[in-house]
Amino acid sequence: MIQGISIYEILTVTTVLFFIGVYGFLTRKNLISMLISVELILNASVVNFVVINKYLYPDMLQGAVYAIFIIAVAAAETALAISIIINLYRQINSVEVKDTEVMKH
Amino acid sequence: MDLSTFLLMRHEIVLLVVILLLIIGEVFIAESKKSSMVHLAVFLFGIHTLIGFLSIDYGSLFGGMFHTNALIQFLKNVLNIGVLILLLQSGDWLQEKIIRVNRGVEFFILLFSSLLGMYFMISAGDFLMFYLGLELSTLPVAALAAYDITKRISSESGIKLILSAALASGVSLFGISMLYATTGSIYFTEISYVITADNLTVLAFILFFTGLAFKISLVPFHFWTADVYEGAPISIASYLSVISKGAAVFILMILLFTVLKPLMHIWENMVYIIAIVTMFIGNLFALRQQNMKRFLAFSSIAQAGFILLGLITGDQLGTATVVYFLLIYIFSNLAAFGVVQAISLETGKEQMKDYEGLYRTNPNLSLIMMLALFSLAGIPPVAGFFGKFFLFTAAASKGYYLLVFLAVVNVTISLYYYLLVVRAMFLRKSDNAIPYFKSKVYMRLGLLITAIGILVIGIYSPIYDYIYELSRNLL
């Protein structure tokens, strides 16, 4: 627990972080930026879990453990996404979304 | 501690052993004999499927994180049968295209890991296990969708799948964190005692719903479906539309009917609206598709809308009808994808107009395709009719007459576009129809099993009674 800071302030920050992530995912035109936006969303939930655990239910460690698992899974997800992006880059020399639109309707 | 309690996880353990044996096989089997890997994988998975039918104890493990009961075992067996048929259907493709460039074993390992994730997902007893299972079942499929690394559309479909999956699971996680804030636990049983319909819980539920709605490809989250199906190898498209969707529907059903039951007056309305929108969008977009894979993608979106009709009831009848429909849907959709795969493997053609005059050259394939499409559309003698009929009965038993009426309208629309394919195959004449070809043994076996399934499941009523009996207690 941090002295002088209530849970409301931290949850506001994580919520803002979450919506920045969603906004970034929907507006960015670059695959890497979209990936970064997804990471923002995941990190918002990680902070959420830890903070809720610490402030509201400090006698159990469920939230903290959950956070560790999310970090590990997020790393795996990023690694896989990056490897697919690299493979795509080898073929079309671009990581822009508009160049990945062969299939439509 | 008694190690024999781990035998509750027999499905998972046996599948893990299969994966490890395949890795050992990859190391020790000589380069020149690599094509036997397909036989080995099919053989091992066949044994795994058979072992799955042996009786097993029910209970929970790891302090309630993992639990099994009769219905979950049954669904795992259904998924096993689906994957086995899928392996049979894709055996020839693997041998001709994939083993030759020495990338065969990874395919099986990724596929089976994804299935393992689904096992853990449907037996999950808390949200941590659920999340890990969800990710384990999604990530390998993204790698598989991008498996054809020389093809551009394959990579594109892979990146589309992984980015949308990551977004959906991220949003879902944010919802779970809010649910944790309001209930103070991540265990299903503990949550179901304390959950109440306050505002934060409702918001949490809506965010959480996103993650599963994405996997089932319900309408606001369906945009990835058609592109991924078109770009991915056909067996992976088939896997996504059948196995992955089936497992996700099942865990969604468990969550809605047990943990989130106190919120029923809220999710009822959500499911109601999403069901209508999903059916209409899926059907109307399917009308204008020319590529068979995209066509089947939109048809599977529409089928997901029909499944929601069973989910809306929230009782034993709903459970039984949803599981029964899933069983039929797995067979019918695997048959349709199997025929598309057989033709694509032989000739590389995937457009609807290539199917013109197919009956004159390849009558057996056309008949199986016709059976599959009739079953998907719900025409009486085949199983699909009974599946849809029971779903509508379940929804009508709760008084959702308008919803059932709209669903029937949608069945009519879907009949039109399914019959377009049947007409192309049977009534149209074409100068350059696909010439006669004979599929290999695996493909024929796979198609035969699906055809038998479509014909038998609907008529042989003890199957439905058995499912109804199993669905008495969910959690």
Whole-angstrom distance, CA of residue B259 vs CA of residue B254:
8
Of B163, B166, B181, the CB nearest to A56: B181
Query: B153 touching A, CB under 8 A?
Result: yes
Contact (Cβ atoms closer than 8 angstroms) between residue B333 and residue B240: no
pLDDT in the model for residue B1:
61
- Is residue B382 very low, low, confident or very high in pLDDT (cuts 50, 70, 90)? confident
Q: How far apart are CA B4 and CA B305, in angstroms?
A: 42
* Percent of chain B with pLDDT strictly greater than 90: 25
Tell how many helices (H) and how many strands (E) occur in chain A.
3, 0
Q: Which residues of B touch A70 (CB under 8 A)?
A: 131, 173
Give contacts of A105 with chain B, Cβ < 8 Å.
Answer: 288
Q: pLDDT at residue B13 above 70? A: yes
Query: Does B186 reach chain A within 8 Å, measured CB to CB?
Result: yes
Of B389, B456, B452, B377, which is closest to residue B421 (Cα–Cα)? B377
Tell me, what's the pLDDT at A81?
Answer: 92
Average per-residue pLDDT in chain A? 89
pLDDT tens digits, B56-74 = 778 888 888 888 888 888 8
Please judge whether B173 and A25 are an interchain contact, meaning their C-beta atoms are less than 8 angstroms apart: no
pLDDT of residue B121: 92
Domain ranges of chain A: 7-100
Which residues partner with B225 through β-bridges?
none
What is the per-residue pLDDT for B316? 84
Quote ipTM for the complex. 0.93
Q: Which residues in chain A are contacts of B128 at CB distance < 8 A?
A: 62, 65-66, 69
Confidence of residue B420 (pLDDT cuts 50, 70, 90): confident
Q: How many CA atoms lie within 13 A of B169 on its CB side?
A: 28
**Using one digit for the tens of pLDDT, what is the confidence trace for B176-213?**
999 999 988 888 888 888 888 888 899 999 999 988 89
**In chain A, what percentage of residues exceed pLDDT 70?**
97
**Average pLDDT, integer, range B25-36:** 80
pLDDT interval class at B335 (50, 70, 90): very high
Considering only CA atoms, give the Rg of chain A.
17
A7-100 CATH? 1.10.287.3510
Q: How confident is the model at residue B475 (pLDDT cuts 50, 70, 90)?
A: low
Cβ contact, residue pair B170, A56, below 8 Å: no
Cα dihedral sign, B77-B79-B85-B90: negative
Asked if A18 reaches chain B (Cβ–Cβ under 8 Å), the answer is: yes
User: How far is the C-alpha of B259 from the C-alpha of B194, rounded, in Å?
Assistant: 10
Calpha distance B291→B285 (Å, rounded): 12
Which of A90-94, B57-61, B286-290, B397-401 is least confident?
B57-61
Q: Is the dihedral of CA A90, A93, A96, A102 positive or negative?
A: negative
A26 touches chain B (CB under 8 A): no
Mean pLDDT value of segment B44-50: 90
CB < 8 Å to A85, chain B: 159
Asked if B180 and A66 come within 8 Å (Cβ–Cβ), the reply is yes
What tens digit of pLDDT does each residue of B278-334 get? 999 989 888 888 888 888 999 999 999 999 888 888 788 888 899 999 999 999 999
Give the A window 45-64 contacts with B, CB below 8 Å. Answer: 45, 48-49, 52-53, 56-57, 62-63
∠ CA B245-B246-B248, rounded to 5°:
65
Mean pLDDT of A7-24: 92
Q: Is A63 in contact with B180 (Cβ distance < 8 A)?
A: yes
List the domain boundaries for chain B: 3-470
B 93-122 residues inside an 8 A Cβ radius of A: none
- Is residue B433 within 8 A of residue B355, CB to CB? The reply is no
Residue B92 has a pLDDT of: 83
pLDDT value of residue A104 = 65
B133 Cβ under 8 Å from any chain A Cβ: no
**Alpha-carbon distance A88 to nearest alpha carbon in chain B (angstroms):** 6
B216 within 8 A of B128, measured Cβ to Cβ: no
